[in-house]
Structure 1
Amino acid sequence: MSAQPKFRFLLINAFSLEPGSGFQMRAFSGPKEEQMHNYADVAPFLADVDWDLHPGARSTHGNWPVETKFEFMSVGINRLPLVREACESGKYNAIVLLGGGDPGYLEAREIGRSFGIPVTTCAHAQMHMAGLLGHKFSIIDISETHNMQMYNLVLQYRMADRCASIRNVNFPLPKPQYSDERPIQVERDRALRGEPSAMLDAAVEEAVSAIEEDGADVLMIGCSAAFWLQPLLQKRLREMGWDVPVLEGYRCAIEAAKTLVSLGVDASGLAIPLGRPSRWRRKKVF
């Protein structure tokens, strides 16, 4: 009988849209590799992982991508049953939540803890990886509305003293009530073909400002729709002489999951108490 692989992960996309949506930015069916943003960049980090991918629960907020607090809460709630089902299956020893704004992460981690299974996600993993690499990080992000989701995550994860800034390139996600005059997919395709890309240029400009003006010595990318920027932004900064790491969420979340599995831990029982613990604290301090 062959031994099980060391890493058995389920990756869960944040949501899937109704077939035929005009606001689709990735595939929601077909081979798992096609349903991941930037699979070619992520593939080396999955080479030693036996992994499945869930396309994400069908969206109930509307048939478009996620930016507002309501939309993030909606998709976060929708994928919690997927996390529980995956934990109950016994097939996986870690769950990786895909999506830059971490919808449902803390609640999913509570579910995972009840099964002894670590749960990781993109912004949380990037912020903690940044702490291993430097003193201050800045977030390169896509829009004013999405910026505020990242802002709230910085506070929630107690990273306010480590976050130098959130820098906005102002390429919002497509919505039915707005004209899509700055489509991210078009900018991505131009950049990957080696053609001029206004979004990449804006990311470079904001990254340099984060370094020079805000004191950042590590950079991370906020939205998963912009994770394609990572290798291109890293290259441009190096060509300019900036020796600064640029992080991306999928890879950080996958590697964080590997670390937790290797260490044999998931989350502190004091940080995430379950039921009625045998020992409890009389006071919580800040």
Structure 2
Amino acid sequence: MKIKVIAPIISDIFNKEMLEEFSAYASSETKVAVANLSYGPASVESEYDEALCIPNFLEKAKEAEAEGYDGVISNCFGDPGVKPAREILDIPVIGPCEASLLITSSLAKSFSVVTVLPNVVTMIENISKTTGVSEKLASVRYVNIPVLEVHEKDRLKAALYEEMVKAIEQDHAHALVLGCTGFMGVAAELQAKLKDNGYDVPVIDPAFAATKMVETLVSMGVKQSRLTYMTPPSKQRVMN
């Protein structure tokens, strides 16, 4: 099985860690490759950024299918380009947010997402609605750390833990989701720290969730429904 992880940003600062993390999450038989955009935003932290990243993401996703990859992951918690890519690809296309919310909703009656900035709170709330789990969403909290600074792990973990405790105590969350795919390599440590302090709740890593979901769909031999994600009508489309 071959999985292509496409970071819908032009920055490559996460590439090494992405390859290491996704390869660790995947089964030993799965080959993982990562890619960035050739043009678009340096990070995705708004609807505007998301709109800018989608055209080249779709091009990269089509290339991945042509190269023989069995599935594609849009490596951003906003799931940019996932729905249009499902219309034009015949392989599974997975978004980390959707995958995380579906998995978490099966583990607890309520959950909170802890993300980067206030700019993306509404975006995540909207995905919870389209995914059908909004009634279980207790809150979307943020650490106020931009995406391009989440590599500062000690600062990140301290901020995440603080907001997670607030989500449990104030928002009555019974499970937690890391709301950025840049929050790599911290879920297990945070889950253990919470348990040590009396909060025995799952902490879901969106990259891990997306990896396992795409592997499952490929193994099952299924992809997106053509009754939901219909092939776009043939017409002239001018692209720069």
Same fold (TM over 0.5): yes
Query: Structure 1 CA distance, aligned partners of 2:39 and 2:128?
Result: 25
Letter in 1 for 2:55: I
Whether 1:270 and 2:234 are equivalent positions in the alignment is no
Whether 1:36 and 2:18 are equivalent positions in the alignment is yes
* Unaligned residue ranges in structure 2 (runs of 5+): 234-240
- Deviation of 1:53 after TM superposition, in Å, equals 2.1
Query: 1:84 is matched with which residue: 33, 57, 62?
Result: 62
Query: Structure 1 CA distance, aligned partners of 2:210 and 2:147?
Result: 23
1:59 alignment partner in structure 2: 39
Query: Structure 1 CA distance, aligned partners of 2:215 and 2:112?
Result: 25
Query: 2:94 is matched with which residue: 120, 123, 148?
Result: 120
Letter in 1 for 2:40: T
1:72 alignment partner in structure 2: 50
- Deviation of 1:35 after TM superposition, in Å, equals 5.5
Whether 1:167 and 2:141 are equivalent positions in the alignment is yes
The one-character-per-residue Cα deviations of 1:189-237 (angstroms, maximum 9, x if unpaired) are xx3xxxxx4x323322221221222222121111122234312211210
Whether 1:102 and 2:79 are equivalent positions in the alignment is yes
1:26 alignment partner in structure 2: 14
Query: 2:213 is matched with which residue: 246, 256, 262?
Result: 256
2:109 alignment partner in structure 1: 135
Query: 1:227 is matched with which residue: 168, 177, 184?
Result: 184
Structural RMSD (CA): 2.2
The secondary structure found in structure 2 opposite 1:52 is strand
2:4–2:71 contact (8 Å) kept in structure 1: yes
2:23–2:32 contact (8 Å) kept in structure 1: no
Whether 1:244 and 2:210 are equivalent positions in the alignment is no
The one-character-per-residue Cα deviations of 1:141-174 (angstroms, maximum 9, x if unpaired) are 1111122322232233232112111012211245
**Larger Rg over CA atoms:** 1
The one-character-per-residue Cα deviations of 1:52-98 (angstroms, maximum 9, x if unpaired) are 222x112334xx32212111111122210111122233x12211221
Quick one: structure 1 residues 95 and 248, their matched pair in 2 at CA, closer, same or farther if it must change by over 3 Å? same
Letter in 1 for 2:150: I
Query: Structure 1 CA distance, aligned partners of 2:147 and 2:34?
Result: 23
2:8–2:74 contact (8 Å) kept in structure 1: yes
Letter in 2 for 1:75: C
2:6 alignment partner in structure 1: 12
- Deviation of 1:258 after TM superposition, in Å, equals 1.3
Query: Structure 2 CA distance, aligned partners of 1:53 and 1:168?
Result: 27
Q: Under a length normalisation based on structure 1, what TM-score does the superposition of the two structures give?
A: 0.74
- Deviation of 1:40 after TM superposition, in Å, equals 4.6
- Deviation of 1:49 after TM superposition, in Å, equals 0.2
Q: Which runs of 4+ in 1 moved over 6 A?
A: none
1:83–1:111 contact (8 Å) kept in structure 2: no
Q: Under a length normalisation based on structure 2, what TM-score does the superposition of the two structures give?
A: 0.87
Aligned residues: 233
1:184 alignment partner in structure 2: 150
Quick one: structure 1 residues 41 and 257, their matched pair in 2 at CA, closer, same or farther if it must change by over 3 Å? closer
Letter in 1 for 2:26: F
* Unaligned residue ranges in structure 1 (runs of 5+): 1-6, 18-23, 28-33, 175-182, 192-196, 277-286
- Deviation of 1:256 after TM superposition, in Å, equals 0.2
